[in-house]
Amino acid sequence: MAEPPDGQPCVGVFARAWAKAVAGTSYLPMTHAQLEMLLQRLTNLLAEALRAEPLDLRVGHRVANELVAAHIASAEALGRTVEVIQLRLVRDLDLVADDIEDRLARLLGAVATGYARALRDRTLDEQESIRRAAMTARAEAEQALRASEARFRHQATHDPLTDLPNRTLFAERLAAAVTGSAGSGRRVGLCFLDLDRFKRVNDSFGHQIGDRALVAAARRLRRAVEPHLVARLGGDAFVVLVERSTGTGDVVAVAEAALAALSEPVVVDGHDVTVTASVGIVERRVVGTSPDDLMRAAGSTLLWAKAAGGAGWALYDAERDSREQARQELSAAIPAGLERGEFFLDYQPLTSLHDGSVLGVEALVRWRHPRLGVLRPDSFIGLAEETGLIVQLGGWVLAEACREAVGWTSASGQPPYVSVNLAVRQVRRPGLVQEVRALLRRTGLPPNRLQLEITESTMMTTSEEPVRALRALAALGIRIAIDDFGTGYSNLAYLRDLPVTELKVAGEFVRGLRTPDALADERILASLVSLAHALDLTVTAEGVETGGQAERLRAIGCDAGQGWHFGRPAPPDHILARIR
C-alpha cells in the first residue's frame, strides 16, 4: 500500500477499513486494490477539510460525488461510509481540535447530503436512459413492423420477376378508377398487351433468357407509359391502366408508346430476343361499365389485334364484340340444342334431267332455336366447324337422315338416295367407317341409298387416313359426291385415285346460264360434264332456279339438277308426296 505524500500511515489504515466496509454493498467495477486507492485519496480530502479553517463543506459533497461516480452507489454503502467515518476517522488519523466533534458532524452531514443527491440524480438519469432505450426499441420495432408490412404488401401486390404491380394491385386500382367518385364525365382506358409468339423465345433460348427478356420488356413498358399503372397479369400478358382519359386518342397514344418501346432491339446474353406485341384497347366512360366488362372487352380486342397478325393495336368495337359474343353463345348452345331435339332435317330433291324423277334428296339441317326461331345451317355450321361441335352435330344429321330415309318407298320401285354432307373433321376422325357401317346395320338402309357429300378441301390433305376411309365407304356401296365442285382447287388428281361417284357443280356456274350469251360458263359446264362422264361420274348441277337453266343443262348432258326450280328444301312428308 502506497503511503500518502505526507507520510501518515494512519490514512492507509482508515482507507482499508473503509474499503472493507463498503465491499459487497453493491457491485463495484474495480479491484479491491483500486478501491483502497480511491478511498485513500478521499480520506486525505476529508482529513484536510477537517484541519482547514474555515471548514469547507463542499469537500463533503465532492467526496460523496466521487463515491457515487465510482459506482460505490447504494444505500448500504452510504450507511457503512457514515458509520466508518464517525467511528474511526478522527481516531485513525489522530485529528486534534477543540471542535473536532462538531466539525466532523457537519462534514458528515455534507457527505450524506451530497451522496443522497448524487444517488438520486444517478437513479433519475438511469431511469431516463432506460426509458429512452425502451422507447427507441419500441419505435424501432414498430418501424421494422411497418417496413415488413410494407414489404409484405409489396410482395403481395407485385410480380416477383419484373417487380411490376400484379393482378391483385391492378384489380384494386381498376376498381377504384371505375367505382371511386364516378363523376359523370370520367373516362377510363385499358391497354391489354401481349407479346407476340413469346413462347418461341422460351422454346429457343430457355426460360432463363425468356425471363430476362420479360424483365427487359417490363422495364421498357413501365418507362414508356409513365405515369400510368402497368401490371403484369402473368406470362407475357401486361395491362396498362389509363385513368382520367379524355378520349380514345389518349389510350391509343399510350399503346403506341408501349409498342414503340418494345420494338427496340433486345439482346440478352448475345441472343436477339426482340419481340413485337399486340394491344387491345378499350376506352369508355366510367359510368355504366365495370372492371370485369373492361377486362373482358380489352381481352377480346387483344385477340382481334393478334388475329390481324400482331405487332399492332386494335380498338374495341362494340358491334363486332356483340356479334362475336352472339356467335359464341350460339355455338355454346349447340350441345344442349341437340339434347333437347331442337335440330331437324329438311330435304331438297336431286332431280333427273332425263325423266324428271327424284333420284335423291339432300338432307339439310335446321335448328329450331327457342329464342331465335328456325336457323339455317349457314348461321351455325361454320361455328360448329370452328369449335369441333360439327362432329357431334354431323353425326346426328347422318343418323337422322338414314333413320328417316329407310322408310321411304317409291311408286317407281327405286326410292331416292339420301345425300348427307360430311365435314372435314368428320372424315378425318378415326372410326368413321365403323360408325357408318353400324348405322346402316341399325337402320337397315341399303348402302346404295346413302350418298356422302364431301368438299374438295377435305381431299386437300397429306394424310392417307381420309382417303382410306372414303375407299372403305365406297366399297360398302355408298355413293361419294364432291360438293361445290369447281370453286376450290379443283385438283383433278384425286378424281383418278378416289372412288367418287358424282360431282356436284357449284351453283355459280349455273347462275351464268340465265343470260343467253354466257358462253364461258356454259363451256366450262360442258367440259366438266364431259370430263365427269369420261371418268364414269354423274354430274348434278346445284342452284338451278329456272326452267331455262334446266333446259340448257339437259342439252349439255348434265345428269341431275338441284335448286328452287325442282323444289325447295322441305320436310320429309313433302318429299314423300312427290315420289309416290
Partner 1 sequence: MSLRRPDWAPETIDVERPSVARMYDYYLGGSHNFAVDRAAARAMVAAVPQAPLMAQANRAFLRRAVQFLTDAGIRQFLDIGSGIPTVGNVHEIAQRHAPESRVVYVDIDPVAVAHSREILAGNDRTAVIQEDLRNPEQILANPDVRAMLDFSQPVAVLVVAVLHFVSDDDRPAEVLRALRSALVPGSYLVLSQASDDGRDETERAEAEEVYRRTDNPLWVRGRAELTGFFDGFELVEPGVVWVPQWRPETPESAEDAERAVFLGGVGRLGG
69 is a site residue for partner 1 (CB under 8 A): no
Contact string 157-196 vs partner 1 (x = CB under 8 A): ----------------------------------------
C-beta of 133 vs 267, nearer to partner 1: 133
CB proximity list for 188: less than 8 A, separation 6 or greater: 174, 177, 178, 241, 242, 243, 244, 245, 283, 284, 285, 286, 289, 294
How many alpha carbons lie under 13 Å from residue 345 in its C-beta half-sphere? Answer: 26
- Please give the Cα distance from 292 to 224 (Å, whole number): 26
C-beta of 127 vs 290, nearer to partner 1: 127
Residue range at the interface with partner 1 (CB under 8 A); choices 3-11, 26-34, 438-446, 489-497: 26-34
C-beta of 166 vs 426, nearer to partner 1: 166
Residue range at the interface with partner 1 (CB under 8 A); choices 60-68, 138-146, 290-298, 396-404: 138-146
User: Which of helix, strand or coil describes residue 268?
Assistant: strand
226 is a site residue for partner 1 (CB under 8 A): no
The residues facing 234 across adjacent strands are 237
Q: How far is the CB of 139 from partner 1 (least distance, A)?
A: 9
Q: Which helix (H) or strand (E) holds 224?
A: helix 207-225
What are the two backbone dihedrals, phi and then psi, of residue 285, each rounded to the nearest 5 degrees?
-70, 145
Q: How far is the CB of 68 from partner 1 (least distance, A)?
A: 11
Pick the binder of partner 1 from 11, 68, 73, 389 (CB under 8 A).
Answer: 73
Q: Please name which of 297, 298, 289, 291 lies closest in space to residue 171, comparing C-alpha atoms.
A: 291
The residues facing 230 across adjacent strands are 240
Pick the binder of partner 1 from 1, 52, 105, 145 (CB under 8 A).
Answer: 145
Q: Are 480 and 501 in contact (CB under 8 A)?
A: yes
234 is a site residue for partner 1 (CB under 8 A): no
Buried/exposed 112-123: b ≥16 CB within 10 Å, e otherwise: bebbeebbeeee
Pick the binder of partner 1 from 1, 3, 9, 33 (CB under 8 A).
Answer: 33
- Please give the Cα distance from 208 to 382 (Å, whole number): 42
- Please give the Cα distance from 580 to 572 (Å, whole number): 12
For residue 494 the three cell numbers come to: 384425286
122 is a site residue for partner 1 (CB under 8 A): yes
- Please give the Cα distance from 156 to 172 (Å, whole number): 12
C-beta of 134 vs 267, nearer to partner 1: 134
31 is a site residue for partner 1 (CB under 8 A): yes
Residue range at the interface with partner 1 (CB under 8 A); choices 40-48, 66-74, 437-445, 449-457: 66-74
127 is a site residue for partner 1 (CB under 8 A): yes
Q: How far is the CB of 147 from partner 1 (least distance, A)?
A: 8
141 is a site residue for partner 1 (CB under 8 A): yes
- Please give the Cα distance from 255 to 213 (Å, whole number): 19
Q: Where are the alpha helices (DSSP H) in 311-362?
A: 318-339
Q: How far is the CB of 34 from partner 1 (least distance, A)?
A: 10
Q: How far is the CB of 134 from partner 1 (least distance, A)?
A: 5
Q: State the first-to-last Cα distance of the chain, in angstroms, to the nearest integer.
A: 147
Residue range at the interface with partner 1 (CB under 8 A); choices 122-130, 280-288, 469-477, 553-561: 122-130
Interface residue list for partner 1 (CB under 8 A): 24, 26-27, 29-33, 71, 73-74, 122-123, 126-127, 129-130, 132-134, 136-138, 140-141, 144-145, 148-149, 151-152
